A and B are shown apart, each in its own frame.
Chain A
Amino acid sequence: MDFLRPVFESGRIDFKGQSLASSLATMLLVCSGIAAFGVGYSMERLSLCFYTYVLGIAVTYMVVLLPWPFFRRNPMVWLARSSNGSKSTLVDSPNQSRKTLVEDVSDDSDDAH
């Protein structure tokens, strides 16, 4: 079932990007809902209301679904893999202050087994 892997692994974004994506999606959808009600009511047509909302969903997909660069501005700081397993150092990255310890989510490291 390895052919499915690209489907599940594509489009990764970093943690700050995830939080940004989540709040962006919420905001866009709620706003498009309100806009849809306003447009439908003022144009006196219910179908127009739902077309506006579908447009809003499409815009949300466009903005949030794809891994745009602004979701990837804060890449993870990984600890370097040490040769003897006793000592580890930080690799150089644009953001040295982050020291969050995170488990390896990629799950495809061959040396685990």
Chain B
Amino acid sequence: MELLSNAKKYGVRSLLLQGLTFLSVLTSAFMIWKGLSLFTNSESPVVVVLSGSMKPAYDRGDILFLHNGYSPIAVGEVVVYKINDKPIPIVHRVMKVHTENETGKQYLLTKGDNNNADDRGLYNPGQMWIQRDEIIGRVKGFVPYAGMGTIWMNDYPQLKMVLLGTLCVLSLFSND
């Protein structure tokens, strides 16, 4: 109803223009994300820490900026890896690296700073090492607390709806 009266007042053209602006914002955000992904050679260059296993270095809700690159992984680097067939990426520190001469293939073992044991229990059953291609990126930059919104939205899905609703109402009523 509000939409109809708005259309009467400003015309269909301006409504379409508003839609177009909205779409261009969406697509440019997507383009920046994909461009960053291409530049860092990482499928998700910005991640939010979801667990406390790297305490006290990283806590829940911290944002990590990743860069994967093409160079081999060094010991002591904090990496984000995703085991094949497991959905959740994990942020841990690399503790062992063995690099093969001929193939350059790397055998890596990781461990969380706050965990007592290494990560073999998190890998696939029987898997002793992770490979270079299971690494999503190494942590290069770090901003604390900035991802708390994501955590809250994960914990309380209703919050997402409330937020979207508020945005919609605000965009309907601001005429500029």
Interface residues of A (CB under 8 A from B): 1, 4, 8, 107
Contacts and interface: CB of A to CB of B under 8 A. Distances in A.
A1 B5 CA distance: 12
Nearest to A107: B175
Contacts of A1: 2, 173
B167 to A, nearest CB: 15
Nearest to A4: B173
A109 to B, nearest CB: 14
Interface string B149-176: 0000000000000000000000001110
Interface residues of B, number: 4
A4 B174 CA distance: 11
A107 B174 CA distance: 13
Contacts of A8: 173-174
6 contacts: A1-B2, A1-B173, A4-B173, A8-B173, A8-B174, A107-B175
A103 to B, nearest CB: 13
Contacts of B2: 1
Q: Which of B2, B173, B175 has the most CB of A within 10 A?
A: B173
Nearest to B174: A8
Interface in B1-41: 2
Nearest to B175: A107
A106 to B, nearest CB: 12
Contacts of A107: 175
A107 B176 CA distance: 12
A8 B169 CA distance: 13
B168 to A, nearest CB: 13
Enumerate the 6 nearest inter-chain pairs by beta-carbon distance, A residue then B residue, closest first. A4-B173, A8-B173, A1-B2, A1-B173, A8-B174, A107-B175
A4 B175 CA distance: 13
A108 B165 CA distance: 26
Contacts of B175: 107
Nearest to B1: A1
A54 to B, nearest CB: 13
A107 B175 CA distance: 11
A3 to B, nearest CB: 11
A1 B170 CA distance: 12
Contacts of A4: 173
A62 to B, nearest CB: 24
A43 B117 CA distance: 39
A4 B169 CA distance: 11
A46 to B, nearest CB: 10
Interface string B109-152: 00000000000000000000000000000000000000000000
B24 to A, nearest CB: 25
Nearest to A46: B144
